[in-house]
Chain A
């Protein structure tokens, strides 16, 4: 175990964290705004990958698949929020169960449409090369993932902090009742955030499809990891999601490399401890 090992693991952890940020930030915003524990979030990730595959098979364009899949799943999320979650009102248990019912429905639909085979999403050839930095081979695709997460993170941050829309979202996270009182349409904000969360998760599914693959069961594998990101970082906070994603990405990589037998334990035990000590997460808004 020399410096190379540490550097490569750190780089892999960083790029995995970039992917987790896409999934986790949406989940975190959804929870922050609506207090909904969305157990269908892993399904958005998986469906994103599947829709992208269909787009690639018909048009051959990976570049087109990326936004197409994300938008399609965002519409799905929007419909789910409008037709089912909104009428339910605030009832955490029923909301959770409803999202899980949908997760099962999506699972079966995916199985029917895309069969039970394992697929890979091959990125464009330009991104499959590696570059050499200081004697380390860095796959360009992983660099692209990091760049993508940074760009999206920056866009989200600017929207949240510098625009009027962002201010209404932050107000809704902090105190939805008060926000309604001063005339903010929190129902519209919820719809928007839910669609955005689904959009980001699906984007993650397309991007992650290149090295995680796309296969049945990926939805419920991704879901608890996304929750770990959200909880460690803090619910409803964008910066928290970024730090949570980074920590989970690194912990996952080093855990698997250093102590494989307890690697998931080292991921979820801190999550439980943080919840017990500070339920709002490390950087959550009180």
Chain B
């Protein structure tokens, strides 16, 4: 990719984000909430993309980090009244730390595994967290979950939908910027190297285990951040947040948008949230649409929605080549 091309893409993303930031506050409160939810969840999807798209590790347990951030937020808020004022920023830090620490623990078990085994072990680890959330009634409220009641107030009132949207948007944009910088850094490049051929990276002297472990922890930290925001967006934290289908959702969103692009995950999340929460209010068959979109994407668009332009270009180039060769053939004869 040329330097100019990269900057063009960054500009396009910034412009698209600016449109979202400007247009959303003028929409109905339903759309504002929907966008806020999608943005908060997008942070989780992007964090998963660091593993899936850049490191080649398909995790089926990413909801665990969303869960730990969300439960930290809810338990601190309801038990200790913490995080409802200026200390909200402290809770954000704790959520990130919680996600990163959990990933540091889980990574010790998971990182050695590859391919299908990595899928399975992250599934098992995610289920551990789900099991605790579901059963540890005295801490997590069990199946009923924990109601947060109110959003933080500190100078600004996050109970106001538009203010809260801006906060989530800002943290989302910051996360995107940090992750983008990360994947383009030498560290990010070596992750891609590991994805492409781990053995070669090892031979070149890279500590691939450590690289993968760090990527896993970073993804966990962003997952924790997503969890804190998700808790306040939904107002309730329950085992639903850490259930296997939530992890699967994140994975599907990343693939739907296009793995290894970061922004693709955001597009995937937007499509899924729109289908699931908007279409479901209009028609009863929305889940067929969702399942159909998944199956068709996996079948016909392995590079996801973000891969469409490249595929179109390829198709065109192939057509042009064919025409050129025809002309050549006619000239020759």
A residues engaging B (CB < 8 A)? 31, 35, 37, 39, 84, 88, 92-94, 96-98, 100-102, 104-105, 107-109, 111-112, 220, 223-224, 227-228, 231, 260-265, 267-269, 271-273, 275-276, 279
Contact = CB atoms under 8 A, between A and B. Distances in A.
Interface of B: 52, 58, 60, 106, 108-110, 112-113, 115-117, 119-121, 123-125, 127-128, 130-132, 134-138, 243-245, 248, 251-252, 255, 284-285, 287-288, 290-292, 294-295, 298-299, 302
B135 A264 contact: yes
B120 A276 contact: no
Contact of B123 (A98, A102, A224, A262): A224
B295 A268 contact: no
Contacts of A228: 124, 127
B131 A268 contact: yes
A220 B245 contact: yes
Nearest to A267: B131
Given A92-B119, A227-B123, A272-B121, A104 B287 contact: yes
A269 B130 CA distance: 11
B123 A265 contact: no
Contacts of B134: 264
A265 B245 contact: no
A275 B117 contact: yes
A276 B287 contact: no
Contact of A92 (B112, B116, B294): B116
Contacts of B245: 220
Given A262-B135, A263-B135, A269-B128, A276 B295 contact: no
A271 B128 CA distance: 9
A271 B126 CA distance: 11
Given A97-B255, A220-B244, A268-B131, A105 B121 contact: no
Contact of A272 (B58, B115, B119, B124): B124
A104 B112 CA distance: 31
Given A31-B116, A108-B288, 20 more contacts: A84-B295, A88-B298, A93-B52, A93-B58, A93-B119, A98-B298, A98-B299, A101-B291, A108-B287, A220-B243, A264-B127, A264-B128, A264-B131, A265-B131, A265-B135, A269-B128, A273-B109, A275-B121, A275-B124, A279-B113
Contacts of B109: 272-273, 275-276
A88 B108 CA distance: 33
Contacts of A107: 287
Nearest to A224: B127
Contacts of B52: 93
A83 B25 CA distance: 46
A227 B124 contact: yes
A268 B60 CA distance: 14
A96 B294 contact: no
Nearest to A31: B116
8 contacts: A37-B116, A88-B298, A94-B302, A112-B284, A262-B132, A265-B131, A267-B127, A276-B109
Contacts of B137: 261
